[in-house]
């Protein structure tokens, strides 16, 4: 999933980019309004994160122009402007959400996931992708970015879903590290074994009953990971 | 707002000016009436003085004739001589007790003058005989007049019968000092009945003074022209100067006044004063003269311009304009001061907003990167867990602790800025809520999760009972800020209790959330004040604890505009806040 981030502050832009990438999204970044419009027209992102106060063209105008060509694409405003009128203007222009600075990573993640669920739900209506996959006693709902064990609901990232979907698809077989990187990080990503290990450890902590003795994501030393039914 | 202030200032100016104007007009009107009344009284008193002077003249004349009568009443010859010698007397007549004329003697040849007089006096004789008894009564009553004023009224009723014949009514009906004196003076010698008889012969007015003595009635006709002449001499000269020849104090009349002496035929007899009235001008005052000239009138004319209410109106208007100017100046000054305060207030609010916004960008970075670093380090930690276990390293790496501090402090700063912004917003334009559909419990969990590391570090126990899962309409930011303030207070003030209990429930369109700790609690006398802006409890509870004192105030305001409330509920130990917000399921 590709997200366009338009933000003039370099550090905020890079920080958001890092958060989104860790969640499993592809990102394209713009440091002003004009660049955001250009990237939107050329890169066709799945949704857009827009700052309001940007050089050249402000976020409101960018949103207005995006809405002229695409009424469906989700747009989230990120701004230090927290007055009600600012939010109302943004939402009136067709924005789907409004994140006020200073924000926490959890808040951004929660809102991005909410938007992703809507996108996936819409996309799922058009294809025959499974609504639910089962990994032992864990039910995973890819379009909802959730898994369930008993009554416990587990919130998952897009990358987690992709990894679990891939393992489920290749169940009984070893999925090597490169495949996982290519499928879940993107082909442009420079592989770093530590990154994958860290992510798998985090995922295990979320979905495994005992992360130290994993039953769903098993390690195949020196090769990759495997899911056995 | 601006219009409202201008309207208030206008009211401050207009109402007092109108009120003062109304009072001024009323006072002026009253004053005008009072002056008018005073002037009218003065005019009447001027006329009464003239009347008194004329009455005095007749009184003196009566005295003189009555004095003379003592010598002439018993001798017809003396009476005849008296008539010839007295210049004021024109003719004389005597009737006996039976009403028979004894002078001029019956049968005696009458001169032309006597004949005309007797002819003119025929009515006097007839009426005098007919009303002989009445005349007696009148005389007697007139003697008692100085003793009993009430009796004068009875006399007046009797005289109403005879007043057309006897001007004695001037004696009896007017119970004034002159009449009384006259009656008393002659009472010592013998009862004397006397009076005036005035009648018209054509347009000529005739005056007979009569008296009774030993049953006889004596009458003397006076020269009308001489009487008028004497009266005119007594009055001020036409120009109002003092007549030194007579030696009378003839006070000059006001130069803007004129007095006219009018006879029975409405003919002008005499006038004095410098004022020249218009042709149809009505007199300012009128007074009928005392008897025997009862049918004569004194009319007073004065220049109305000398008493001009426009002058008063000018005074009132100029005073009102002066007062209005003062009030307007004052109102303008207040308005300017108010505008200056508003401008300064706006500048302050804008400054706070601007600074808050400027703080947000670096704060976003601090917070975001601290959290990213925290996540990264946690992931690193996960990988090292096995290593730590193997090496018996239970202690959490210090950098995790440090990054937690940065993260929690940046969150605290975020809450502080949010509070300041909301407070400046509430003073500038008021707070608003923007409701969207969501799950209340999700927001509560999110807020608790933010505080969890901080509270866990202080060994808090958690008891969370959330039962508000239905999707409802509410302002998520507002709820988050309310809960942030409540949990921040728990962290700051309730740490000693080491316990946090949060519940949520939904009934109809109302969601209730309670946040309770087991800290030292809030004293009863402070429980209302804690919701006031900038109020901080001055006790051990707040010593060494930072805060602005606006958190609970904002939380309560937000709860109220969300159609609910925030209150402290009595609890056995610690503090328990109950938050209620209106959360409809449909818009």
pLDDT of B184 above 60: no
| pLDDT computed for residue A76 by the predictor | 94
B17 vs B535, higher pLDDT: B17
Q: Say if residues A217 and A167 touch (Cβ distance below 8 Å).
A: yes
SS3 (DSSP) at B285: strand
pLDDT of B311 above 70: no
| pLDDT computed for residue B307 by the predictor | 59
Query: Tokens representing B177?
Result: 């000092």
Q: Tell me how many degrees the CA angle B32-B34-B35 measures, rounded to the nearest 5.
A: 65
How many angstroms separate the CA atoms of B115 and B117, rounded? 5
Distances B116 to B93, B129, B167 between C-alpha atoms, Å: 12, 20, 22
User: B410 to chain A: which residues are within 8 Å by CB?
Assistant: 102
Distances B333 to B14, B17, B18, B270, B337 between C-alpha atoms, Å: 16, 18, 21, 67, 6
* pLDDT band with cut points at 50, 70 and 90 for residue A7: very high
Q: Do B477 and A197 touch (CB under 8 A)?
A: no
B356 vs B165, higher pLDDT: B356
How many angstroms separate the CA atoms of B163 and B155, rounded? 11
Mean predicted confidence (pLDDT) in A94-111: 89
Task: Give chain A's radius of gyration (CA, Å).
Answer: 19
Whether residue A109 lies within 8 A of chain B, CB to CB, comes out as: no
How many angstroms separate the CA atoms of B458 and B206, rounded? 131
pLDDT of B299 above 50: yes
How many angstroms separate the CA atoms of B427 and B478, rounded? 17
User: A15 to chain B: which residues are within 8 Å by CB?
Assistant: 364-365, 368-369, 372
How many angstroms separate the CA atoms of A146 and B47, rounded? 118
| pLDDT computed for residue B164 by the predictor | 33
* pLDDT band with cut points at 50, 70 and 90 for residue B251: low
Query: A166 to chain B, minimum CA–CA distance in Å?
Result: 22
Which residues does B contribute to its contact with A (CB < 8 Å)?
357, 360-361, 363-369, 371-372, 375, 378-380, 382-383, 386, 410-411, 413-414, 417-418, 421, 425, 432, 434, 446, 449-450, 477
| pLDDT computed for residue B423 by the predictor | 74
Query: Which residues have a Cβ under 8 Å from the Cβ of B559 and sit 6 or more positions away?
Result: B482, B565, B566, B579, B580, B581
| pLDDT computed for residue B529 by the predictor | 82
* pLDDT band with cut points at 50, 70 and 90 for residue B545: low
Query: Tokens representing B73?
Result: 């009443």
User: A199 to chain B: which residues are within 8 Å by CB?
Assistant: 379
Q: Tell me how many degrees the CA angle B494-B495-B499 measures, rounded to the nearest 5.
A: 80
Segment of A77-81, B138-142, B159-163 carrying the highest mean pLDDT: A77-81
| Backbone phi and psi for residue B529, each to the nearest 5 degrees, phi listed first | -70, -25
User: B357 to chain A: which residues are within 8 Å by CB?
Assistant: 80-81
| Backbone phi and psi for residue A95, each to the nearest 5 degrees, phi listed first | -70, 150
B548 vs A41, higher pLDDT: A41
| pLDDT computed for residue B547 by the predictor | 67
Q: Do B357 and A81 touch (CB under 8 A)?
A: yes
- Segment B365-409, tens digit of pLDDT: 888 888 888 887 877 777 676 455 545 545 556 677 677 777 777
Q: Do A81 and B383 touch (CB under 8 A)?
A: no
- Segment B94-132, tens digit of pLDDT: 888 877 888 888 777 788 878 888 877 776 666 554 444
SS3 (DSSP) at B473: strand
User: A11 to chain B: which residues are within 8 Å by CB?
Assistant: 365, 369
**Chain B residue with minimum CA distance to A110:** B446
Segment of A129-133, B58-62, B99-103 carrying the highest mean pLDDT: B58-62
Mean predicted confidence (pLDDT) in B521-537: 80
**Chain A residue with minimum CA distance to B358:** A80
Interface test with B, best of A13, A80, A98, A102 (most B CBs within 10 A): A102
Q: Do A105 and B383 touch (CB under 8 A)?
A: no
* pLDDT band with cut points at 50, 70 and 90 for residue A80: confident
Query: Which residues have a Cβ under 8 Å from the Cβ of B425 and sit 6 or more positions away?
Result: A83, B353, B431
How many angstroms separate the CA atoms of B358 and A80, rounded? 8
* pLDDT band with cut points at 50, 70 and 90 for residue B551: confident
ipTM at complex level: 0.79
Share of chain B above pLDDT 70, in %: 76
- Segment B483-518, tens digit of pLDDT: 988 998 898 888 888 899 999 999 988 999 999 998
Query: Tokens representing B389?
Result: 């276990």
Q: Tell me how many degrees the CA angle A34-A35-A39 measures, rounded to the nearest 5.
A: 120
Interface test with B, best of A101, A197, A202 (most B CBs within 10 A): A101
Mean predicted confidence (pLDDT) in B564-570: 90
Q: What pairing do the DSSP bridges indicate for beta strands A75-79 and A97-100?
A: parallel
SS3 (DSSP) at B454: helix
| pLDDT computed for residue B388 by the predictor | 54
Distances B558 to A194, B350, B474, B506, B511 between C-alpha atoms, Å: 47, 21, 12, 19, 14
CA atoms within a 13 Å half-sphere pointing along the CA-CB vector of B404: 15
| pLDDT computed for residue A175 by the predictor | 92
| pLDDT computed for residue B583 by the predictor | 92
pLDDT of B528 above 50: yes
DSSP character for B395?
S
DSSP character for B485?
H
Q: Do B371 and A106 touch (CB under 8 A)?
A: yes
pLDDT of B287 above 50: yes
* pLDDT band with cut points at 50, 70 and 90 for residue A113: very high
Query: A175 to chain B, minimum CA–CA distance in Å?
Result: 21
pLDDT of B581 above 90: yes
* pLDDT band with cut points at 50, 70 and 90 for residue B181: very low
Lowest-pLDDT choice from A14-18, A125-129, B385-389: B385-389
How many angstroms separate the CA atoms of B182 and B577, rounded? 107
Cβ neighbours of A84 (radius 10 Å): 15
* pLDDT band with cut points at 50, 70 and 90 for residue A140: very high
Q: What is the DSSP string of A106-123?
A: HHHHHHHHHHHHHHHHHH
Share of chain A above pLDDT 70, in %: 97
CB contact residues (below 8 A), chain A span 130-189, against chain B: none
| pLDDT computed for residue B391 by the predictor | 53
pLDDT of B142 above 50: no
Edge-to-edge strand ranges of the sheet holding B576-582: B461-467, B499-507, B510-517, B576-582, B565-568
| pLDDT computed for residue B155 by the predictor | 38
Mean predicted confidence (pLDDT) in B465-478: 90
Mean predicted confidence (pLDDT) in B534-552: 65
B308 vs B97, higher pLDDT: B97
- Report the candidate in A168, A170, A174, A225 with the shortest Cα–Cα distance to residue A196: A225
DSSP H/E element including B115? helix B112-120
Segment of A40-49, B231-240, B310-319 carrying the highest mean pLDDT: A40-49
pLDDT of B266 above 70: yes
Distances A190 to A113, A178, A181, A187, B98 between C-alpha atoms, Å: 25, 10, 9, 8, 167
- Report the candidate in B477, B472, B439, B474 with the shortest Cα–Cα distance to residue B555: B477
For residue A201, give the nearest of B382, B418, B446 by CB distance: B382
């Amino acid at each position: 999933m590709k997200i366009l981030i338009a933000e003039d502050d370099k550090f905020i832009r890079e920080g958001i980019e890092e958060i989104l990438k860790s969640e499993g999204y592809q990102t394209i970044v713009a440091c002003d309004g004009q660049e955001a419009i250009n990237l939107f027209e050329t890169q066709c992102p799945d949704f857009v994160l827009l700052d309001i106060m940007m050089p050249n063209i402000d976020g409101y105008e960018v949103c207005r122009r995006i809405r002229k060509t695409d009424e469906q694409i989700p747009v989230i405003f990120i701004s230090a402007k927290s007055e009600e009128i600012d939010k109302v203007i943004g939402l009136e222009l067709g924005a789907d959400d409004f994140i006020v600075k200073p924000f926490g990573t959890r808040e951004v993640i929660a809102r991005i996931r909410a938007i992703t669920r809507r996108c996936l739900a819409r996309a799922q209506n058009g294809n025959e992708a499974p609504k639910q996959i089962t990994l032992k006693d864990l039910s995973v709902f890819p379009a909802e970015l959730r898994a369930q064990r008993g009554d416990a609901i587990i919130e998952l990232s897009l990358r987690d879903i992709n990894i679990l979907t891939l393992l489920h698809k290749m169940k009984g077989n070893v999925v090597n590290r490169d495949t996982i990187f290519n499928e879940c990080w993107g082909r442009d990503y420079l592989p770093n074994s530590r990154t994958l290990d860290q992510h798998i450890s985090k995922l295990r902590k979320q979905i495994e009953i005992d992360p130290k003795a994993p039953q769903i994501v098993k390690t195949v030393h020196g090769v990759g990971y495997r899911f056995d039914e | 707002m601006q219009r409202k202030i201008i309207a208030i200032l206008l009211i401050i100016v207009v109402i007092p000016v109108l009120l003062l104007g109304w009072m001024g007009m009323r006072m002026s009107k009253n004053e005008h009436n009072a002056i008018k009344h005073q002037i009218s009284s003065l005019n009447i008193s001027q006329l009464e003085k003239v009347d008194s002077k004329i009455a005095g003249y007749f009184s003196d004349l009566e005295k003189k004739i009555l004095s003379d009568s003592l010598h002439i009443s018993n001798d017809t010859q003396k009476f005849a001589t008296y008539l010839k010698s007295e210049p004021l007397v024109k003719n004389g007549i005597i009737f006996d007790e039976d009403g028979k004329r004894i002078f001029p003697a019956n049968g005696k040849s009458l001169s032309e003058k006597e004949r005309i007089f007797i002819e003119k006096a025929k009515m006097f004789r007839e009426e005098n005989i007919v009303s002989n008894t009445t005349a007696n009564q009148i005389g007697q009553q007139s003697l008692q007049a100085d003793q009993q004023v009430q009796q004068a009224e009875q006399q007046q009723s009797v005289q109403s019968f005879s007043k057309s014949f006897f001007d004695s009514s001037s004696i009896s009906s007017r119970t004034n000092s002159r009449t009384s004196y006259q009656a008393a003076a002659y009472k010592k010698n013998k009862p004397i009945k006397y009076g005036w008889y005035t009648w018209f012969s054509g347009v000529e007015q005739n005056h007979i003074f009569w008296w009774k003595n030993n049953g006889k009635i004596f009458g003397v006709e006076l020269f009308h022209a001489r009487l008028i002449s004497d009266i005119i001499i007594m009055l001020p000269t036409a120009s109002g100067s003092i007549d030194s020849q007579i030696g009378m104090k003839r006070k000059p009349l006001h130069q803007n006044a004129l007095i006219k002496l009018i006879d029975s035929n409405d003919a002008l007899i005499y006038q004095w004063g410098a004022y020249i009235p218009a042709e149809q001008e009505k007199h300012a005052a009128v007074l009928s003269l005392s008897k025997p000239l009862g049918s004569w009138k004194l009319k007073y004319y004065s220049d109305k311009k000398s008493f001009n209410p426009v002058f008063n109106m000018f005074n009132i208007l100029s005073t009102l304009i002066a007062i209005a100017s003062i009030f307007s100046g004052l109102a303008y000054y207040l308005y300017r001061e108010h505008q200056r305060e508003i401008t300064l207030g706006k500048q302050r609010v804008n400054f706070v907003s601007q600074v808050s916004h400027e703080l947000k960008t670096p704060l976003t970075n601090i917070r975001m990167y601290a959290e990213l670093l925290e996540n990264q380090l946690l992931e690193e930690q996960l990988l090292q867990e096995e290593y730590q276990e193997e090496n018996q390293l239970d202690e959490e790496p210090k950098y995790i602790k440090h990054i937690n501090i940065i993260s929690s402090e940046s969150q605290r700063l975020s809450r502080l800025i949010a509070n300041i912004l909301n407070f400046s917003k509430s003073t500038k334009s008021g707070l608003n809520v923007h409701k969207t559909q969501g799950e209340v419990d999700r927001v509560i969990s999110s807020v608790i999760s933010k505080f969890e590391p901080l509270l866990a570090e202080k060994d808090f126990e958690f008891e969370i009972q959330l039962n508000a899962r239905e999707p409802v309409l509410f302002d998520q930011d507002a709820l988050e800020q309310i809960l942030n303030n409540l949990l921040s207070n728990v962290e700051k003030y309730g740490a000693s209790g080491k316990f946090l209990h949060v519940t949520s429930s939904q009934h109809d369109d109302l969601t209730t959330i309670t946040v309770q700790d087991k800290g030292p609690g809030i004293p009863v006398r402070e429980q209302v004040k804690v919701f006031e802006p900038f109020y901080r409890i001055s006790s051990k509870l707040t010593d060494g604890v930072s805060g602005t004192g606006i958190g609970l105030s904002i939380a309560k305001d937000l709860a109220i505009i969300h159609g609910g409330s925030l209150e402290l509920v009595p609890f056995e130990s610690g503090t328990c806040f109950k938050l209620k917000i209106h959360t409809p399921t449909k818009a």
